[in-house]
Amino acid sequence: MEKIEILGLIAAVFTTSSFFPQVYKAWKEKSTKDISLTMYIAFLIGIILWLIYGYYINSISMVIANTVTLVLVLIVIVLKFKYK
C-alpha cells in the first residue's frame, strides 16, 4: 500500500473515531442541549454521499470509515431527540 494511502487511513480513523467520545458524553450526561441538530443532519447527508462516492470509486477504506461514522452520527441524532 502506498504511504499516502496509509495517511488517508490514519486520517479516516481519527475523523471516524472522534464521534465515539461525543456519543459517550451525550449518553453518560443525558444532555445534548448544546449540540447542533442542524449540524448533525447536514453532516449525516454528507456522510451518506461520501459513502456512495467511496462505493463508486471502489475505496473500501472510505466505505468502512463512512459506515462507522454514519452509525455514530445517527446515534448522536437519536440521543439529541431523546435528551432534548
- Contacts with a second copy by CB under 8 A lie at 4, 7-8, 10-22, 24-26, 29, 31-36, 38-40, 42-43, 45-47, 49-50, 52-53, 56-57
C-alpha cell at 79: 440521543
Minimum Å gap between C-beta 5 and a second copy is: 9
Which H or E run contains 8? Answer: helix 3-17
Neighbours of 67 (CB within 10 A): 14
**Closer to a second copy by Cβ: residue 24 or 71:** 24
Nearest CA-CA partner of 40 in 67, 75, 84, 64: 75
**Closer to a second copy by Cβ: residue 10 or 71:** 10
